Structure 1
Amino acid sequence: MKREKKKSISEIFGSRVFNDAAMKEHLPKETYKAIRKVIDKGDSLTPEQANIVATAMKEWAISHGATHFTHWFQPMTGFTAEKHEAFLWPAENGKALMTFSGKELIKGEPDASSFPSGGLRATFEARGYTAWDISSPAFLKEDEGGLTLCIPTAFCSYTGEALDKKTPLLLSMDALSKQAVRVLRLLGNRKVQKVVATLGAEQEYFLIDRRYYEQRPDLIYTGRTLYGAKPAKGQEMEDHYFGSIKERISAFMSEIDEELWKLGVSARTRHNEVAPAQHELAPVFATANIASDHNQIMMEVMKKVAIRHGLVCLLHEKPFAGVNGSGKHNNWSMQTDDGQNLLDPGNTPHDNAQFLLMLAAVIKAVDEYADLLRVSAANPGNDHRLGANEAPPAIISVYLGDQLTDILEQIEAGESRGSRTGGFIDVGTSVLPPLPRDASDRNRTSPFAFTGNKFEFRMVPSSSSVSAPVFTLNTIVAESLSQIADRLEKATNVQEEVKAIIKDIIHQHKRIVFNGNGYAADWIEEAARRGLPNLANTVDAAKAIVAEKNKKLYEKHKVFKAGELEARYEITLETYIKTIRIEAGAMIEMAERMIIPSVITYTKMLADSINAVAATGTGADTSIAQDRLKQVSSLLKDFGSGIAALRAAFDEAENAHHGDTYAVASLWRDRVFTAMGTARQSADLLEGLVDQDFWPMPTYQDLLFKV
């Protein structure tokens, strides 16, 4: 069959985005300049200018076939939200007008009490507002209902508290820019006006056949398998990673790319990941706010496109036990408004004072606020993943590599004299060219690794918004830069003070630098000796949100007020409780309605078979069948006891006093989650013994290999 020629990337890229090119085309020159001034310098639009923008945006959207608009926002659910409004407005002559005002563009009013608020909003206090984020371009989202104009917005309560993921990210970007510009000015750069955080978020995910998904209540309810025996083959052969992509998956990936390109998302890299049925998609970096929006768009598009291909996209951090889980590798850096990457070491990093000062600021920030960085990557799904064979441990450390570590050691000892170089690798055959070798290796076990001109935060959960890790990084680095600027402002000799600051930071914070194997058991002991926190789960990590030093940090840089942090602490714990509650409930339901009845039917079949053979009077041996019956019956008894214990733990937690959310969350973790693991062991052993025709759900073999 002859394939229809596809449009080129340049033809479709950004075609559904009201981006800079679209604004230039559709807006009057003066209005376009006003918008650029708002984006670049933080000015504001007049009501008249907002009306002009709204009209142009409406006409652009309608020309593409859109009939509705929505304020697209990111509440504390971790997902996006939208309320669609038609452009339609009835006219006096019985016809309809297509209207969209500047007021509608700038402000919306969703119900704030129906989203997680951590006590900031009660049911009777419903009013909330969405506010247009002019720095993130509007876009057209397509589904079977047609096209909708989506306007990225922030979301706050009637009393002004942030109820979303976007607001603190925007505030943290302002804080980082302010402090970074202070430092750069003190270093002699008078031109810089703004510094932005940049982000490239790699997204890992699983694809499974929709037929099997629909037969697994655990996947439907929770996104992960609550039962499942390890298959004979997992990822041991290491044949899936970067392996040839199956045609069905390739078709999905191609459509994903095209849909994302239309929305201005620069999807670039796609490949098979380590686990069977696992894959990765990575975009080119963008400013952190836009990259965060793009990652939300990416996750939504992947789920929708998967359905069209008879697949289901799983974003849970650990959907399958015994094989790699999924994360999001956040590649973070800082860039000036004239395009200078502040974390680019250059060819001779040992004498690049600006780079070394920025590097030192990050090291100091990560060491002093490791607890905040850890909780920014905490969710119940990630509790299954961190510390396993594909993910970094729950202990925050910084990997710098040989070159930078050597330079910092030189500085601490006296003064840096040179930078190690990588040289070349000669493979030994004339048909292959000499390969330039980087000055340092990479470390997959590090949660926070320097990777050439950026830091890669590898701990981020695959299902979560990237906002929290980024606003945390922005804020803690802003604080480091603030303290550095304070010292420089008092210095009589700035250059000498820069050297002193770098040396002091290295001496005080070198404990956070670790270039070794993060999976090694002795690293846990070594980290404890260094005094590094090991927050193994979400419940323990959550306390960092309301630690006094962290409250002061966020209030100082105007990212959060104390009440907002208390609310996010409550939401984090409540989300944990709800997640474990749903998982435990699903586990009990599947046991009672699927597994136990199916195994009873199987044991009856075995017993009937044994009796039927005995009734023939031939003396035929039935010992194997009898052994199997005993084995299965014993495991079924153990499983029944495990489920009974789980139900008792569930009831205990469900009826616990709700005045102390941390205590209740700890109960769900210690009693219910532990009981779930015990019950599962017997079920997974049963799966290996029960005839596959009797097992009531698709197995890991079906889910991981029949895609």
Structure 2
Amino acid sequence: MSGSLARLNAISAVNKTTSTSKPLNFLEEKPTDLFGCNVFNDKVMQEHLPKPVYKSLKRTMENGEQMDPSIADAVASAMKEWALSRGATHYTHVFYPLTGLTAEKHDSFLEPDGRGGAIAQFSGSTLIQGEPDASSFPNGGLRTTFEARGYTAWDITNPAYLLENDNGVFLCIPTAFVSWTGEALDKKTPLLRSNQAIHTQTSRLLKLLGHKNFGRIQNFAGVEQEYFLVDRNFYFARPDLYLAGRTLFGAKPAKGQEQDDHYFGTIPKRVLAFMIEVERDLYKLGVPVKTRHNEVAPGQYEIAPMFEDSNLANDHNQMIMSVLKSVAKRYGMACLMHEKPFAGINGSGKHLNYSIGNGDFGSLFDPGETPHENAQFLLFCAAMIRAVHKNGPLLRSSVACASNDHRLGANEAPPAIMSIFLGQQLTDIFEQIKKGDEVTSKAKGILRVGVDTLPPLPMDAGDRNRTSPFAFTGNRFEFRAVGSSQSIAGAQLILNTILADSLDYISNRLENLMYGENWELNDAVTKIIQEIIQEHDAVIFNGDGYSSEWAVEAEKRGLANLRTTPEALPALNTDESVKLFESFGVLSKRELDSRTSIFFEQYVNAIQTEVGLAIKISRTSILPAAVRYQTELARNCLNMKELGLGCVQGPLTTLTENLNGLESAANELETMLTQKHSDEQEHAQFLCNKVLPVMTELREYADRLEEIVADDLWPLPTYQEMLFIK
């Protein structure tokens, strides 16, 4: 294959790439023995803690009781001894600031003993609270630069764990991160508050329905993580990839995903070896990874763990992203988490499967075999319908960021319109309730394939819909709009809060009907479900979410279509949102204002970085290559004319037109970057509405040049190389 020297060298290096990891042997290291071996889990706690301390700690973890401070030193001592026995030298309080990334500051266990030696120290007070500098993390005005104090608070509900490095081991303690005044500076704190709200409101409704003596209500998350893999030789030859996370230029290859031959296809050998090592490392951390497969686009893959408590699932998803990136390096690859690293093919999402329940009830979204007779399920399902309909813009804001704007509504991801897919069976049941008819439901059937050697298959009562942003999938809802690079905490806490609000509304209404108007329980439940569906069924849509007709229909139904981040973010701190979050103690107005400011600032920074990169790459890489080819074509025309022969001027004319367009667009973008703005929101809107269209124009010129310029002159690795050479 021809190409520039840099591209040829990259392709040659790909062919010679060897793993830096030793081959794994699961006969010697059984997955069952590996699982959780680096986690300070229940088994380890029983072995290392005195019984009274262990029981007290378990009550806090399982029932949400406040921790007894007197046990802190005993827990810290046991944790330290366990970590030291595994080779740990340092500890860190792990937290998740509003960057969306993982943060950690390492401290050594060792302290001088005053006699020329050292001893290992780790107290209960050190375990419970750390003090990282809070001034350098996003705070949205909650802190000034000279007010630097922040605290990490031990999240006792998630276990500590050990991370291994080639040269050592360190203890990681999950924590929340708050300011000196107690305001949340992180993703975890409001998630924990929203978990508490869900427990309170769900328990209240269940008691009204006649349940007693049940355990703590949890909300669960199952996170499907999509990602791309690109060889590092290509990655470092593309400044846009390693600085912006996506390709700002790149002509569409002759083959993309049109043949549907990558999805669930045979996993390439090198990629499979990488996946197996990722799973081995995650097993050690107690992450219950279950699924791996090729995704739709070439070079795209997925990993998915089993359902877990949402707080633990959030921590585990951060671990998954970190492990994916670190292990990819060992195999000579770069792992891309950007929602749309390559234009024109499938983007990457993070499907958030959401449910509530506990060991006594299972999932409260489980319809059972006869959903039309399951009033409790129908009531909780109606609560979710009301929650999404009332708070569609707020839910949309939870997945708003510059990178996810490229994916939402791009014909492989759900639209920015928040709607609910229920399927034929449930939609029919709610329609009957709405009309006041006697309720029946379509039973599950048997699917007969027509081949004698294949068994009859149980057939669900309805199909699935992959175009819906929020789909009911059997015993849970799947929120498919979360971006692959995003923390799930933002979406999870908003789902918790809006559902808690609906459950509170239902409990109030139920109390009024039963105790104020003397209704029977079953009649009152039916009445409430009917009222909710009559008022909120506009949000139910089982059709094609990708179609242009749906956008028109959604507008008629009054559903918002917030296509971009600047349109979506204001919903986060409207008066209604502030009242909602404050009423359940999840976020204060100051915290909401700060988050809105931070997210606008992050959008502005992301777009400005891309624009600056696009200008530089166009001028220093693309333009010089195109000018060289222009010179070749011009010389050829002159030589042909001197010989009295005709000259094919079409390529030269087309090349020159696109070169002029490229330079003109780059100049316009450069001028736009100098404009001043009153605040970050106005700046974000300007970048979105004015700058991005010109940046798109710049790309169009560059991509046309890639299809004209001689291949041996083109400087950037192409889509066909990055996506298909493994």
If the TM-score is normalised by the length of the shorter chain, which range does it land in?
over 0.9
What secondary structure, in the 3-state scheme, does the structure 1 residue paired with 2:463 have?
coil
**Which of residues 638, 642, 648 is equivalent to 2:661?**
638
Per the alignment, residue 468 of structure 1 pairs with 490
Moved more, 293-302 or 16-25: 16-25
CA contact (8 A) 1:334 1:341 kept: yes
Which of 589, 594, 600 is residue 567 of structure 1 equivalent to? Answer: 594
Q: Distance in 1 between matches of 2:505 and 2:613?
A: 50
Correspondence for 1:344 among 366, 372, 390: 366
Measure the CA separation in 2 of the matches of 1:399 and 1:175.
26
Q: Does 1:527 align with 2:554?
A: yes
- Residue of structure 1 in register with 2:582 after alignment: 555
* Contact 1:383 1:538 (8 Å CA) reproduced: yes
Written as runs of structure 1 = structure 2, the 5 A alignment for 1:114-513 is: 114-490=136-512, 491=514, 492=518, 493-513=520-540
Deviation at 1:6, TM superposition (A): 4.3
Partner of 1:83: 105
Q: Which residue of 1 aligns with 2:723?
A: 704
Q: CA RMSD in A?
A: 1.4
CA distance in 1, matches of 2:24, 2:157: 39
What SS is found at the alignment partner of 2:480? strand
Shift of 1:489: 2.1
Q: State the shift of 1:93 in Å.
A: 1.5
What displacement does 1:416 show?
4.2
Offset, 1:341: 1.2
- Whole-angstrom distance in 2 between the partners of 1:145 and 1:378: 39
Determine what percentage of the aligned residue pairs are the same residue. 51
Deviation of the 1:339 alpha carbon: 4.8
Does residue 684 of structure 2 align to residue 665 of structure 1? Answer: yes
Using the TM superposition, give the Cα deviation of residue 628 of structure 1 relative to its aligned residue in structure 2, in angstroms: 2.0
Counterpart CA distance in 2 for 1:258 and 1:613 is 64
2:57, 2:207 → 1: CA distance?
Answer: 27
Preserved contact between residue 195 and residue 336 of structure 1 (Cα < 8 Å): yes
The count of residues paired between Structure 1 and Structure 2 equals: 699
Whether contact under 8 Å (2:355, 2:365) holds in the other structure is yes
Structure 1 residues 3, 28: closer, same or farther in 2, change over 3 A?
Answer: closer
- Whichever residue aligns with residue 144 of structure 1, its letter is D
Q: How does the TM-score come out when normalised to structure 2?
A: 0.95
| Correspondence 1:35-74 to 2 at 5 A | 35-74=57-96
Deviation at 1:481, TM superposition (A): 0.4
Distance 1:437 1:3 in 2: 40
Q: Distance in 1 between matches of 2:496 and 2:121?
A: 39
CA contact (8 A) 2:446 2:456 kept: yes
1:47 Cα deviation (Å)? 3.6
Q: What residue in structure 2 maps to residue 675 of structure 1?
A: 694
Among 656, 659, 675, the residue aligned to 2:677: 656
**CA offset digits 1:416-451 (Å, max 9, x no partner):** 432212301111111100111111100000000000
Q: Deviations over 1:213-232 (max 9, x none)?
A: 00101011110000000000
CA distance in 1, matches of 2:628, 2:725: 27
Distance 1:646 1:174, change over 3 A: same
Which residue type is aligned with residue 192 of structure 1?
Answer: F
Alignment equivalent of 1:582, drawn from 599, 602, 609:
609
Are the counterparts in 2 of residues 128 and 156 from structure 1 also a CA contact under 8 Å?
yes
AA aligned to 1:205 is Y
Cα 1:3–1:256 change in 2 (3 A) is: closer
Name the CA shift for 1:2/1:305 in 2 (closer, same or farther; >3 Å).
closer
Kept after mapping to 1: 8 A contact 2:625/2:709: no
Q: CA deviation at 1:25?
A: 1.4
Provide the C-alpha distance between the structure 2 equivalents of 1:462 and 1:92, rounded to a whole number of angstroms: 51
Consecutive unaligned residues of structure 2, counting only runs of 5 or more, are 1-21
2:474 aligned counterpart, secondary structure: coil
One-letter code of the match for 1:397?
A: S
One-letter amino acid matched to 1:441: D
Structure 1 residue 410: Cα displacement? 1.2
Note if contact 2:56-2:68 (Cα within 8 Å) is conserved in structure 1: no
Question: Does the 8 Å CA contact 2:353/2:478 hold for their aligned counterparts?
Answer: yes
Provide, for residues 175-220 of structure 1, a one-character-per-residue CA deviation record: whole Å limited to 9, x for no partner: 0110000000011101124211000010000001100000101011
Q: Offset of 1:43 from its aligned partner?
A: 2.4
Distance 1:474 1:267 in 2: 24
SS of the counterpart of 1:126?
coil
1:314-359: CA deviation from partner (whole Å, max 9, x where unpaired)? 0000001000100011000001252521010001110111101100
| Cα shift at 1:611 | 4.1
Kindly indicate whether residue 596 of structure 2 is the aligned counterpart of residue 596 of structure 1: no
Deviation for aligned residue 1:614 = 5.5
Superposed displacement of residue 46, structure 1: 3.4
Distance 1:3 1:258 in 2: 9
Contact 2:24 2:277 in 1 (8 A): no
In structure 2, distance between residues paired with 1:2 and 1:302: 18
Q: Give the 3-state SS of the residue equivalent to 2:621 in structure 1.
A: helix
Equivalent-residue separation in structure 2 for 1:136 and 1:345 (angstroms) = 30
In 2, distance between residues paired with 1:195 and 1:543?
31
1:73/1:154 contact within 8 Å kept: yes
Q: Match for 2:666: what amino acid?
A: I
Paired position in structure 2 for 1:628: 651
Change (3 A) 1:2 1:216: closer
TM-score normalised by the chain length of structure 1: 0.97
Equivalent pair of 2:658/2:705 in contact (CA under 8 Å)? yes
